[in-house]
Amino acid sequence: MYIENPEYKKIAFSMIAQIEQFKIAKNEKFNVCTKSISNAICNPLKISYIKNDKIKNLELHANIKIHSTPTPEQRNKYFNACTLRKFANHYFLTDGITAEQLEQFNNIVIEATAAANLLLPKTLHVLDAEHIPQIYNHKYNNENNKEPFTIGKLEGLHIGEKSDINASCMQGKPAKYFEMYTDLNEDESTLKMAILTQGNEIVARSLIWINKASADIDRRKKQNPRHFYIDRIYTKTQDHRDQTQTQLYSDLIKYFNIEIDNNYFLPDGSEPTNKIHLPAAQNTYNIKDAYTAQLNTNKYVMMGCMPPFDVELNSDSYNYYPYADTFQHFDTYNQTISSDQSSGSEMLRLESTSGNAENCSIECGECGCETDEEYSTYIEEEEIQVCEDCSVYCEDRETNITVSNAIYNNHSGHHHHRDDLNI
């Protein structure tokens, strides 16, 4: 059933009034009955209108009177429907206006369209890993990707021109950059993409990492509890960001039937349950507060940091790599990526937006083992790079020295360089 949306009417009238302020003339041939303007029946994002000439003709020749508040039947049969942009292009004369006026005109129409989009409900869709490259590949300002795209049964998807998602570092990158994501071993762990759509526009996206729960779970039980990790949540704009992130969070809880609990792992003797986790630095507290308010309870719902886990891959190398917000650590020996910086014998770090991976392993100059360059120390005196286990801080020299040259003083609790001692 058609319901006139007063908020949509406000947006349409505000758009017209703002454009008029920039002295852009009306098109007198497009003589619209402004009182009748509202949202369309066929599409809640389109504007519905009728010209004054048509109202007169209907009354004169067909004895049909268009009411001041048109009935749904009249609006459906006699009214025109189009986008706000098309309406504005008809309503105003844009030929011959200045470049500044044209810029203002376009900005006002874009903002009005975005405001109309916000009137629509947001809907959660959980996509398989095979669709992740397609989501990333589309970018509004990419000439090849301005057209809406389809994923499964989701038709006409698009990313807004002024969307923060559109501006993210990996948006618009080639599909080949995300081969690693589509190569995940579905038997042990899996990866999905969660998106929120408003109309056909993607207004939020996040990678969802899924892993089996603690290995200590009684395997005789048929339940297969899982840990869900919501990676960084990208939203359309900073406005209403917390609300959008919170909806994605709460919708995923319902989608995966997740029990809200402050415990990462299951207590002894308890029944297995699914758990959900948020990235530590990704507006966690905002989501917690908003979700708590949504439930109208003081229940503590934030899961905080995820217990580290590895995601098993099917290969030890790829031609290209994505930039990863959380699972940046690629252990080529064990063929895993991890959220934990200290996990395994890490070889590559996924911190490039150019499809490359940074080799972050070096050979320790003291013990010869491979170590992550990030956690190594350069010993200036000996001009070598050593692992964490092969260096200690020397108070006397106010710098790190190798353990082979260090002598510990039980009395002072400090390390000294053997060359500085009379022994």
Report all structural domains of the chain as residue ranges with CATH numbers, in order of start.
6-117 (no CATH), 122-295 (3.40.630), 374-423 (no CATH)
Check residue 69 and give its pLDDT. Answer: 82
* pLDDT recorded at residue 215: 46
CA dihedral 105, 106, 112, 117 (to 10 degrees): 170
Alpha-carbon distance of 99 to 120, in angstroms, equals 33
- The whole-number pLDDT of residue 68 equals 76
Q: Which residue is associated with the tokens 């309503």?
A: 91
Q: How far apart are CA 43 and CA 81, in angstroms?
A: 8
Angle made by CA atoms 330, 170, 325, in degrees to the nearest 5: 45
Q: What's the average pLDDT block by block, 10 residues per block, for the chain (423 residues)? A: 84 96 93 92 90 94 88 92 95 93 94 86 92 87 64 84 84 91 72 90 89 51 65 83 84 78 42 60 54 50 51 86 87 82 65 82 76 75 85 89 89 86 70
Nearest Cα to Cα of residue 138 among 103, 100, 189, 173: 173
User: What per-residue confidence (pLDDT) applies to 232?
Assistant: 86
Q: What is the pLDDT of residue 64?
A: 92
Identify the sign of the CA torsion 93, 95, 96, 99: positive
Spatial separation of the C-alpha atoms in residues 327 and 330, rounded to whole Å: 8
Cα→Cα distances 172→103, 175, 204, Å: 25, 9, 16
Give the global pTM: 0.63
Closest alpha carbon to 353 in 136, 134, 142: 136
Determine whether 3 is exposed, middle or buried from the number of CB atoms within 10 Å of its CB (0-12, 13-18, 19+): exposed
